[in-house]
Amino acid sequence: MDLAAILILQAVSTVATLVIISIGLAVIFGMMRVINLAHGEFIMLGGYTVFVATNAGINMWVAMLVLAPLVVGVIGIAVERLVIRHLYGRMIDTLLASWGLSLFFIGSITTIFGNTTTSQIASPFGAVRIGAYSISGYDIFLVFMAMTIVAGLFVLMRFTKFGLLTRGTMQNADMAAALGVNPGRIYMVTFGLGAALSGLAGGLLAPLSAVLPTMGAAFIAKAFITVISGGTAILFGTASASALLGTVNTVATYLTTPVLGEVALLLAAIILLRLLPRGITGRFLGRDL
Amino acid sequence: MLEVRDLKANYGQIPILDGISMTIAEGNTVGVLGHNGMGKTTLLKTIMGLVRATAGHVRYLGQDITDKPVHERNQMGIGYVPQGRAIFPSLSVRDNLRMGCAVAPVEEKAALEQALATFPRLAPLYDRLGGTLSGGEQQLLALARCLCGMPKLILLDEPTEGVQPSIIEELIEIMRNLKQSRALTVILVEQNLDFIAALSNEVHVIQKGRLVRQVEPAHLSDPAMVDEFIGTFV
């Protein structure tokens, strides 16, 4: 019984982590069809924001939940204005440009901070015990955060004017422009939002993983797999793909080893995309939430 | 109100508009009649800014708007109802209408109420997704959405295409009333002779990207005249 409870909790926390690392990419890819290969580096920059801020004596929660998304969001808007906006509709070019950005960020951060970090950010909560087993309290916090992010995005997209304009632009940018909406501004804000969510992910994951210039590489593959498996509906797709792949990963890890768990995740994604080439939601929901 | 001078535009490498000139006075409805591929849609898209003009000028209310972005043209009072209607498929009818008044200087609630008063057929569909509506209903919605932004000039592209006859009648009725109540100026691109004749003050014939002649709207109901002027249409 305790084992079942802990397994379920572990699965839920794996799912939550997938949601957190993918949602920023999902927003940018889903709404703008821009494949952002610098996604992992946005996460890394979020991690470094927390690292620098806590070293400067700023409260860790402020650094994680406010500064990380803010700083990376601003970087995202700058990237969009300087680079990405000149390349809309040219998928391969944006892919190359964002790969270049990714190398640029890794290089810059390595130059400034070196390729190792001296201090590890301590995980805030202790362990939660269930019978003979325990799970880290921080994992449960991440589950809570993933739900908050998804709910927050849903409210933003569904009930605000910005959400309406964004959904309209996403479905038909020319028509939105013909109704007076400036698509360029919507894209800029959307890219900033996606970057901010990636920054938040980096902040949230900083206590769990070593903050290193190359840490983005650990996330980007999983994030892409989740977003592509999810399909065109940003929130529902990302959430359902995370749920499926996270559960497969946890169960396979429990039955075998963590490495085979990752393999199972990949296999599940390949089978899924073979059966549903447009992802879980592509066939049924179209381009929406 | 609108002056188009020697307007040229390409579709990729292929020239579509080959020097169009026309002047539209405030309150008039100008019909543009032509076969498929003659440049009707491109003309409206170029006036709206969705297709870039390669030569010539578009002046609106005394201002040169040839290089203005699409959304600024809309904010200046040019409304666009495209061919195929371009309803946002995953937005409800209500949200489609809200998109229409999202950035216009109008009060949203009042604009939506007015839209439903003008288009009572949309009221029972209010919470349905735009993509689930029939062609005719979508056409009404596209026009209603455009009107929400209080445009002064409307570019109307083939509104009767794929629309059931009962709604075509309704569209004629609504457009006539709007011309009275709002002093709308309209450029209407059509292949449906009855529709264009019923609404237009003047009708131009477009052929291979040029306006080749003007016909009296009254003559469009006379098959012999139509044959003589513009060849067989239907």
pLDDT value for A43: 97
Let me know if A60 is exposed, middle or buried by CB neighbors in 10 A (0-12, 13-18, 19+): middle
E strands of chain B, at which residues?
Answer: 2-11, 14-24, 29-33, 53-60, 63-64, 78-81, 153-157, 185-190, 202-207, 210-215
Query: What residue in B sits closest to A288 (Cα-Cα)?
Result: B90
Please state the length of chain B: 234
Backbone dihedral region of A242: left (phi > 0), alpha (psi from -120 to 50 degrees) or beta? alpha
Q: Mean pLDDT throughout B93-108?
A: 91
Residues 6+ apart with CB under 8 A from B90: A167, A171, A285, A286, A287, A288, B129, B130, B131
Q: What percent of chain A has pLDDT over 90?
A: 69
The answer to whether position A75 is within a domain reads yes
Number of compact structural domains in chain A: 1
How does residue B171 score in pLDDT terms, banded at 50, 70 and 90?
Answer: very high
Interface check for B74 against chain A (CB to CB < 8 A): the answer is: yes
Chain centre to alpha carbon of residue A191: 13
Sign of torsion over alpha carbons A253, A256, A258, A261: negative
* B221/chain A closest Cα distance in angstroms: 33
Average pLDDT, chain B: 90
What are chain B's domains?
Answer: 2-228 (3.40.50.300)
Q: Which residue has the higher pLDDT, B233 or B67?
A: B67
| B74 closest CA partner among B179, B181, B175, B147 | B147
Query: ∠A239-A244-A245 over CA atoms, to 5°?
Result: 100
Q: What is the pLDDT of residue A289?
A: 72
- Picking from B46, B68, B90, B109 by the largest number of A CB atoms within 10 A of its own CB, the best residue to mutate is B90
CA A74 to each of CA A7, A69, A211, B178, B198: distance values in angstroms, whole numbers, following the listed order: 39, 8, 20, 46, 55
Nearest chain B Cα distance for residue A181, angstroms: 6
Mark yes or no for CB contact A179/B82 under 8 Å: no
Give CA–CA dist A282/A279, Å, rounded: 5
Mean pLDDT of A216-221: 90
Arithmetic mean of pLDDT, B73-86: 94
- Does some domain include residue A209? yes
Average pLDDT of chain A to the nearest whole number: 90
In a domain, A161, yes or no: yes
Give the pair of three-digit tokens for residue A97. 């440009």
ipTM of the shown complex: 0.91
Cβ-nearest to B90 among A176, A182, A286: A286
Q: Establish if A200 belongs to a structural domain.
A: yes
- A168 and B95 within 8 Å at the Cβ level: the answer is yes
Interval A158-180: pLDDT, tens: 999 999 999 999 899 999 999 99
Whether residue A178 and residue B74 make contact (CB cut-off 8 A), yes or no, is yes
Q: Which of A161, A171, A182 sits opposite B91 (nearest CB)?
A: A171
The region of weakest confidence among A47-51, A105-109, B66-70, B160-164 is B160-164
Residue B213: pLDDT band (50, 70, 90) is: confident
Q: What per-residue confidence (pLDDT) applies to A279?
A: 85
User: A30-43: per-residue pLDDT in tens?
Assistant: 888 888 999 999 99
User: Which of B69, B89, B100 shows the shortest C-beta gap to A179?
Assistant: B100
> What are the chain B neighbours of A167 within 8 Å (beta carbons)?
88, 90-91, 95
- Distance from B53 to chain A by nearest Cα, in Å? 16
Query: Strand A133-136 relative to strand A127-130: parallel, antiparallel, unpaired?
Result: antiparallel
Q: What b/e readout covers B94-106, taking b as 16+ CB neighbours within 10 angstroms?
A: bbbbbbbbbbbeb
CB contact under 8 A, A179 and B146: yes
SS (H, E, C) chain A: CHHHHHHHHHHHHHHHHHHHHHHHHHHHHHHHCCCCCCHHHHHHHHHHHHHHHHHCCCCHHHHHHHHHHHHHHHHHHHHHHHCHHHHCCCHHHHHHHHHHHHHHHHHHHHHHHCCCCCCCCCCCCCEEEECCEEEEHHHHHHHHHHHHHHHHHHHHHHHCHHHHHHHHHHHCHHHHHHCCCCHHHHHHHHHHHHHHHHHHHHHHHCCCCCCCCCCCHHHHHHHHHHHHHHCCCHHHHHHHHHHHHHHHHHHHHHHCCHHHHHHHHHHHHHHHHHHCCCHHHHCCCCCCC
Contacts of A182 in chain B (CB under 8 A): 69, 71
* Mean pLDDT to the nearest integer, B129-134: 93
The rounded radius of gyration (Å) of the Cα atoms in chain A is 19
> A3 or B20: whose pLDDT is higher?
B20
- Does B195 contact chain A (CB < 8 Å)? no
Q: What mean pLDDT is predicted for residues A208-234?
A: 89
Domain around A165:
20-216
Q: What is the mean pLDDT of residues B194-215?
A: 89
Please answer yes or no on whether A175 and B95 come within 8 Å at the CB atom: no
Residue A82 lies in a domain: yes
Q: Is residue A241 part of a domain?
A: no
Pick among A160, A164, A167, A175 to test the B interface (most B CBs inside 10 A): A175
Q: How many residues comprise chain A? A: 289
Q: Which residues of B touch A161 (CB under 8 A)?
A: 102
Number of residue pairs across A and B with CB atoms under 8 Å? 72
Name which of A289, A8, A270, A19 is nearest A144 in CA terms.
A19
Give A169's contacts (C-beta < 8 A, 6+ positions apart).
A31, A176, A181, A183, A186, A187
CA distance B84 to chain A (A): 11
Instruction: Give A-chain residues touching B99 at CB under 8 angstroms.
Output: 164-165, 168, 176, 179, 181
Asked if B149 has any chain A CB less than 8 Å from its own CB, the reply is yes
Could A178 and B91 be called an inter-chain contact, meaning their C-beta atoms sit closer than 8 Å? Answer: no
pLDDT tens digit string along B27-61? Answer: 999 999 888 888 899 999 999 999 999 999 999 99
Please list, residue by residue across B156-178, b when 16 or more beta carbons sit within 10 angstroms of its beta carbon and e when fewer do: bbbbbeebeeebbebbbebbeeb
Spatial contact of B119 and B157, defined as CB atoms under 8 Å apart:
no
The confidence score (pLDDT) of residue B234 equals: 43
- Tell whether B131 lies on the interface with A, counting CB pairs under 8 A: yes
B75 → closest Cβ in A176, A180, A183: A180
- Mean pLDDT, range B66-80, rounded to an integer: 95
Enumerate the residues of chain B whose CB falls inside 8 A of the CB of residue A179: 74, 99-100, 102-103, 145-146, 149
CA A169 to CA B228: how far, in whole Å?
45
DSSP code, position B179:
H
Do A80 and A32 contact (CB within 8 A), yes or no? no
Say what the pTM is.
0.89
Which residues does A contribute to its contact with B (CB < 8 Å)?
161, 164-165, 167-168, 171-172, 174-183, 285-288
Q: Cβ contacts (< 8 Å) between B80 and chain A: which residues?
A: 178
Strand B185-190 versus strand B153-157 pairing type: parallel
Instruction: Indicate the burial class of A189 (C-beta count within 10 angstroms; 0-12, 13-18, 19 or more).
Output: middle
Residues A171-208 pLDDT 10s: 999 999 999 999 999 999 999 999 999 999 999 999 88
Classify residue A225: in a domain, yes or no.
no
What's the confidence (pLDDT) of residue A178? 96
CB atoms A179 and B103 under 8 Å:
yes
Asked if residue A14 lies in contact with residue A250, where contact means CB atoms within 8 angstroms, the answer is yes
Spatial distance between the Cα atoms of A233 and B183, rounded to a whole number of angstroms:
42
Q: In angstroms, rounded to a whole number, what is the distance separating the alpha carbons of residues A38 and A105?
A: 8
Stretch among A51-55, A280-284, B12-16, B43-47 having the lowest mean pLDDT: A280-284
What integer pLDDT is reported at residue A118 of this predicted model? 60
Alpha carbon distance A128, A9 (integer Å) = 11
- A251 lies in a domain? no
Residue B103 to residue A284: CA distance in whole angstroms: 31
